[in-house]
Amino acid sequence: MRLVVGHLARRDLQAIARYSEKEWGAARKAQYMAAIREKFSLLLLRPAIGAPRNDIAPAYRSHPVGRHLIFYRVQKDSVIILRVLHQRMDVRLHL
């Protein structure tokens, strides 16, 4: 399995990092970003762990990390990270 982080997910991660550092400092940002990377690794090991999100699109899944949800899909030999959205965001609007 390989991890593919999509363009929008990369933008999400950059925004999360900026916000975290601004609000809580560099150390807290580093901890939160490490937690997200750990979840990405978990998804590679156990891709079916996320909740099915057929309400959004077929084959989409989500898995929580902190106050965010990782949206992804599994395709053959890849886990494709689509978005990393705050739990309060309107998922349908951003996906």
Q: Is residue 64 within 8 Å of residue 49, measured between CB atoms?
A: no
- Residue 10 to residue 90: CA distance in whole angstroms: 19
Domains of the chain as residue ranges with CATH: 2-94 (3.30.2310.20)
Pairing of strands 51-52, 60-65: antiparallel
Output the pTM of the full model: 0.93
User: What does the pLDDT look like over 16-59, one tens digit per residue?
Assistant: 999 999 999 999 999 999 999 999 999 999 999 999 999 999 99
Instruction: Report residue 42: phi and psi, to 5°.
Output: -60, -40
Q: For residues 17 and 22, what is the distance between their CA atoms, to the nearest angstrom?
A: 9
User: For residue 90, is pLDDT > 80?
Assistant: no
